[in-house]
Amino acid sequence: MWVGMVTSVLAQAQDAQWRGADRDGKYKDTGLLKQWPAEGPDLLLKVEGLGNGYSTPVVYKGDIYLSGRRDSVDVLTRLDIKGQIKWETIYGKAWDKSFPETRSTPTIEDGRAYIMGGLGTIVCMDTEMGDIIWSVNTHEDYKGEFHRWGMAESLLLTEKAVISSPVGEMTTVVALNKEDGSLIWKTESFGGARSYVSPMLIEHNGTPMILVTTSKDIMAVSPENGEVFWSIDLATDYGYREGRRNNTNTPLFHNGEIFTTSGYDADGVMLKLSDDGKSAEVKWHNGALDVHHGGLVFLDGYLYGANWINNGNGNWVCQEWDTGKVMWEEEWHNKGSIIYADGLLYIFEEKKGHVGLVEPSPEGFKVISSFLPDGGSGPWWAHMSIYNKKLLIRHGKVLFVYDLEG
């Protein structure tokens, strides 16, 4: 079995979800290779002809699940370890404007997969056969407001609810019953439009809260009743152009502080929570680590990720969590996404697809090994994932699975 379940205060921490069990880019596998051959780790599986997309492959009970676009619809595909398709289910109409490839990663728990289509329909389906159990069009029902590049949210699960942020004139965040999709609560509206950020669940001094980011604000919401504890306008003071900010990355939480960042020279912002978590203030901000959409990783007091120079270029950066001090900034092919497992960073540049194994250190950028997968088309924007000592890489319609066992 590739995936284990870890319990948290409010919900099961689903390994089979966006950026790992805690949505922080850290995968829990150990016993992994500490360096790779020149051609990379052994390629166990290459599957072509899948639905096109940028979402992350996830694993549940030994099988691989990934979303993609076929023609004008979004599909969720279940593959076995040999790459054979067990089922493929249409779950909604695809986004039909700029960058129409599917971007939502499924969240899987207790035999059910939860995912959002490109036009805002939330679907719950059975993992055994792929049958749809329920669906709710949150965009229409709650008068959501798309940002200019559409929808990229991966759904968050709490003990009882599916959390989504339609954003718009009626509400900002909704909680739907996991069993039937009925509304449990909705927040008041704070305006703006959807961002490209997936929500995350944290706990601070015994207070659980959902971090939600819209096109302009970051806020903390009670998972119990939808009360908004606080909201901070990121766009007006920390945007890149007169109140504009393309929020793209799931925030990171550590020791009562929250770091949030997006590209385009917008400042990364460190927030400090009050003791009760019911308010927050800006601790520091700067533009050193303005991550485009590749995420970032926090380790031992330092942030790691790639900054934005322009849409086609960026460097790799280490920044001190406490002060915002830049420890180093180095060029390596291009900007991209980053994850972590077993003491090492895995970086994935987006232009040509180079994959690097990196020793995390504030002393310098130390690439141990690298390789270049062969296949697929378009940008290498899908974030990697690691399950059962295997590295999963997706490039458009192609899935690669590499052996990381040391």
Listed in sequence order, the DSSP H helices in 8-108 are none
Listed in sequence order, the DSSP H helices in 135-182 are 138-141
What is the DSSP pairing of strand 297-299 with strand 398-403? unpaired
Is the four-CA dihedral 71, 76, 81, 82 of positive or negative sign? negative
Domain that holds residue 17: 6-403
In a domain, 152, yes or no: yes
Q: What is the DSSP string of 255-297?
A: TTEEEE--STTPPEEEEEE-TTSS-EEEEEEESTT---SS--E
In a domain, 103, yes or no: yes
Q: Which residues pair with 67 in a beta bridge?
A: 76
Task: Going residue by residue through the chain, which has 406 residues, state the pLDDT in tens, using 9 for 90 and above.
Answer: 232 222 233 444 578 999 999 999 999 999 999 999 999 999 999 999 999 999 999 999 999 999 999 999 999 999 999 999 999 999 999 999 888 999 999 999 999 999 999 999 999 999 999 999 999 999 999 998 888 888 899 999 999 999 999 999 999 999 999 999 999 999 999 999 999 999 999 999 999 999 999 999 999 999 999 999 999 999 998 988 777 788 999 999 999 999 999 999 999 999 999 999 999 999 999 999 999 999 999 999 999 999 999 999 999 999 999 999 999 999 999 999 999 999 999 999 999 999 999 999 999 999 999 999 999 999 999 999 999 999 999 999 999 999 999 8
In a domain, 146, yes or no: yes
In a domain, 219, yes or no: yes
CB atoms within 10 A of CB 348: 24
Instruction: Residue 220: name the closest of 266, 260, 248 by CA.
Output: 260
- Structural domains of the chain, count: 1
Q: What is the CATH number of the domain that holds 255?
A: 2.130.10.10
In a domain, 1, yes or no: no
Task: Please state whether the predicted TM-score (pTM) of the whole model is above 0.75.
Answer: yes
In a domain, 336, yes or no: yes
